[in-house]
Structure 1
Amino acid sequence: MNEPDALGKTTRINLLFDFYETLLTEKQRTFLKYYFHDDYSLGEIAAEFDISRQAVYEHVKRAEQALEGYEQKLGLLSRHEVLQEQLARLEAIGLELPVGSAERAALQSVLEDIRQTENLIDVNPNREVTGDGV
């Protein structure tokens, strides 16, 4: 896999992990965190858990498949991405409205309300929510 593809895959798995972490087993969460989040190699993980690299590979692959399966069934990441695109479009439309107009102010207010609401919705109860949505 070339570098851009690997980065894209890592980004996707990390996003899926954010949405579906609580649906994974503890072992799946652990191996995915080590491999994708902490960027450990298969060999490093194998040494840490005293198992073969092949066993680590199988655990990681099964966990990836589980995440993709949850996304296929629930579509939370897809919905999130569509919402972000729609918000960006609305923001662009707002920039075309005259500065100081009531319409622009109303649109900006609604966009801010949506973003604040989105920040309150935490799909991962184990993750701390901050004011910046992280």
Structure 2
Amino acid sequence: MSGPLLQRVHVPMLARALGGFSVGTPFWSRADRVTAFFPGLYLVTDVRGRIVWLGKAAGALGVTGRIAQHRTEPWKRQVFDRVFVAEADDRITGPALEAAEGWAADALNLRSRMPHRTWPPSGAWPALVGGHTV
């Protein structure tokens, strides 16, 4: 279920995917300790540093809440080690966040490297995210 080994260039791609909605510099946390109560994109690795998940989060609990939901599944609780988080401005819309997730999946080449997973399409990214400034 694992994807490619996380490379130094991968993490900044999360912020780039958020375009003008990006807030701050991406950071990492242990999956069981992540504190990120805001919307954004996240990339999860296993203990070997392989990408196992790319996702988006919104709502009151943000990334922290989404990771907590994931960790209710036994295999994710066992495999999720580090979470790399890129914060999005609270004004990001659901469709824009989905487009950003799709753009990140394309930029990281995850669709071909992790064919068992699916991500939203990225076609609307230029209109919803690419030209937006906060």
TM-score, with structure 2 as normaliser: 0.23
Greater relative contact order, per chain length (Cα 8 Å cut-off, separation 6+): 2
Q: Which structure carries more helix by proportion? A: 1
TM-score, with structure 1 as normaliser: 0.23
Q: Which structure carries more strand by proportion? A: 2
